[in-house]
Structure 1
């Protein structure tokens, strides 16, 4: 049970992405075997999902049974899910039904309520959540599990006092009130009940009178207007001190209706009046989406060297990671400058773009000239060789290295070579990963001098 909890909390063993890679390539039987022989939790989860999709519920239960036998609660819930999908509703509910004294556990009640709703016992589900509606996440779950269940009127009755309390809290200046989400949830339920005009009217009055606690409520109102073609009201809303919050929603609504040029003009006018990074970010991203890379660079370039989350180079790089020719064009553009204090990121991107074009030697030369002090150089070289399509050379590099991290990387190279069974065998086991993590933690504790507050005196801090 301890190993399973560690896997789930640390993405240990074979993580979901790697399990997905195996399943995409048709290796369901290998995934099932890894779950059974290696105790791989994410393999069990992935195999069960695949088997349930094809209606093989008996096999799915067989995969899950060894994990259930440990007594781990997450595995019990997974078994209950299989039983419910198989139409064995009473068995599913009895397996995870909270004990009477356990009703104070909000997480248990929420999970069981979702199961009840899926089993068609919606009123029981709602009753179970009612004592906990003071919590924002429980209210959100109430709205979620009742969607399409013909219970909107009851949900609205339950949400009404929380929405009113939020309005009073704003009037009284109590900004930290727990009901800050209730107004948008109320509007969401009204909208799905076919009462969108009422939702717009109520939230509109809240906006006019300043009776909302968070920007999320303002954003929800703007998105509601956009969904129902109330663009004149949305344009008016997206002015003054609210422009930074909702102007992108208005511009997005224009684009959704085929008015891209008008949306661009709106954002460029906003930039001319208020040179705010948010406007640059939105405009550069949509220009890139429209295939206008040079225009996107021109808009974003003033933010390329900022040393914080407002840096605008990264939002252009990531959509181009699978388009190496355009990525290289971006990174070699004369206006492109390194991150302030983060040059290694740009060198990594440049190497990746070159490798994607098959220029492996040039890519390796870039990272060798600008090594990342926190990354194993052998693994970096192997990654570039793999990206360039030199799988055998990448595999050899990783085999020679032989570390836990190198074996993790070797897994994907071998799968790409069509050697899935070997890939699983070479991937470090849960026990190996845990032992390596413990050794690394001990080494850090021994080797790193700490300040009085417990933080390292040396990088990485």
Structure 2
């Protein structure tokens, strides 16, 4: 088993797609995942198989799957293996497996995992000793806070954090603490969870007023929201810290059923703020959560033809689709300005339009629109046609259309359709193994390099139809 292959799988979403693994688990195909994990050395299948076996209490079988992966020393597999060993009751073996070695590139993850496994074994003080016995950095501080939550060790953690936090407050430029400004937030979090809320709030307010640490205003606002201090939160949301405090304030009002106040506050900011984009987005989300879909669209539709980051067209479409209002989302694809469409926005808009039509029972109309366009003007044309065929109830035609097609998106759609037909082994067979996927990726980038060399460009853009990152998927989850 090759560590580089495992790293590639994780970094490139390689192997069997996670969505397909989840679907196979839902259909009770755990044994198939075990087979693929072993035969293909597929990491996502190994994780899925272990999850399914542990859910059935078959921990020794789960170790049989994950053990060879853990033996490579690759940290994610080591951690997964240690968790399975703990569930087997093989505590010492778990600790030996996860004990940090000397690989510097994995240092933080290794010590975090070791501490978490120690806690899982009931050795909380040993976990604290392991973390504080090495040079502290901000990630280690947060690991210390995380692994001790609910373990009855808050006072000990505060004894460790207190002196560091005070040094940061006195002189944040000291060489020994200038990289540990998160100690302020960490101390506040532990004080809060230990019930010392007034002390936590006092420190947090002082840090925010003195602008100590990154995001002090946001931390202060979030704490006030968690403590239900709405009046004080309003003061922040109407003052210099408004940018950090508005979202917690609006969400606190909403939780109390005071949505009219939340809406009024946001509308006021939209009218008066120099850069209202963030507040417009929050207003859109608030109205969507209330089911006021037409009002939500009306509130932000003036942004829909803008050619900058404040454009909320796609955000509105996604939120409407999540609420099952594909019809209303589809309406937003009409009437866009020629200037907007001329800036390549037509491509993603069309792609989303066809998906919405497919979800709305208009797959046949979408396919007609698609086929009327020149083939070179449609990204991912053939998988899109196949998906629309399936949405129109012509699944076997869609499967036949996809089988000869190359590329990640084609075999992803094919595998999902086969699972939907209960043809689980065929679905796995439709997914190329890791070596084939890697070769496909190499060929793609080689073609892209040759293309750029043949046609010099000063844009620096990568080819759009990257099979690993392009936008078309069969789901907008």
TM-score in terms of structure 2 length: 0.87
Cα–Cα, structure 1 residues 447 and 160, in superposed 2: closer, same or farther, change >3 Å?
A: same
Decide whether the 8 Å contact of 1:19 with 1:43 is kept in 2.
Answer: yes
Q: CA shift at 1:344, angstroms?
A: 1.3
Q: Which residue of 2 aligns with 1:237?
A: 236
Cα offset for 1:113? 1.2
Structure 2 Cα separation of the partners of residues 336 and 122 of structure 1: 63
1:352–1:459: structure 2 CA closer, same or farther, 3 Å change rule? same
The separation in 2 between residues aligned to 1:265 and 1:457, in whole angstroms, is 43
Q: Structure 1's 278 and 173: CA in aligned 2 closer, same or farther, altered over 3 A?
A: farther
The aligned residue for residue 305 of structure 1 is 305
Distance 2:103 2:278 in 1: 50
> 2:305–2:337: 8 Å Cα contact kept in structure 1?
no
Q: 1:56: which partner in 2?
A: 58
User: Given the superposition, is the C-alpha separation of residues 183 and 404 from structure 1 closer, same or farther in structure 2, using an over 3 Å criterion?
Assistant: closer
Of the three residues 352, 356, 361, the one matched with 2:359 is: 356
Residues 107, 357 of structure 1: alpha-carbon distance in 2 compared, 3 angstrom cutoff: closer
Question: What secondary structure sits across from 2:54 in the alignment?
Answer: helix
Contact 2:383–2:413 (CA under 8 A) maintained in structure 1 = yes
1:5-154, aligned counterparts within 5 Å? 5-70=7-72, 72-99=74-101, 105-132=107-134, 134-154=136-156
CA distance in 2, matches of 1:33, 1:96: 26
Change (3 A) 1:103 1:319: closer
The 1:443–1:451 alpha-carbon spacing in structure 2 relative to 1, beyond 3 Å, is closer
Aligned CA distance change for structure 1 residues 238 and 166 (closer, same or farther; 3 Å): farther
Q: Which runs of 5+ in 1 are unaligned?
A: none
For 1:121 and 1:259, how far apart are their aligned partners in 2?
A: 46
- Counterparts of 2:334 and 2:104 in 1: how far apart (Å)? 61
| Equivalent in the alignment of 2:368 | 365
C-alpha distance 268-450 of structure 1, shift in aligned 2 (>3 A): farther
State the alpha-carbon separation in 2 of the partners of residues 345 and 104 from structure 1: 39
Hey, what's the Cα distance between the residues in 2 that align with 1:222 and 1:450?
A: 54
Partner of 2:471: none
Q: Paired residue for 1:192?
A: 193
Q: Does 1:326 align with 2:311?
A: no
Post-superposition offset of 1:44: 0.8
Superposed displacement of residue 173, structure 1: 12
Q: Equivalent residues in 2 for 1:386-397 (5 A)?
A: 386-397=390-401
| 2:470 counterpart residue number | none
Q: What corresponds to 2:205 in structure 1?
A: 204
Q: Secondary structure at the match of 2:435?
A: helix
Between the aligned partners of 1:293 and 1:61, the Cα distance in structure 2 is 49
Q: What are structure 2's unaligned runs of at least 5 residues?
A: 466-477
What CA deviation, in whole Å up to 9, does each residue of 1:397-450 have, x standing for no partner?
212424454223210111111111111112111111111111222222222139
**What TM-score, normalized to structure 1?**
0.90
- Please give the secondary structure, in 2, of the residue aligned with 1:233: helix
Number of residues of Structure 1 aligned to a counterpart in Structure 2: 457
Range 32-41 or range 388-397, more displaced: 388-397
Q: What do residues 244-271 of structure 1 show as CA deviations (whole Å, max 9, x unaligned)?
A: 2211211110110011111111111222
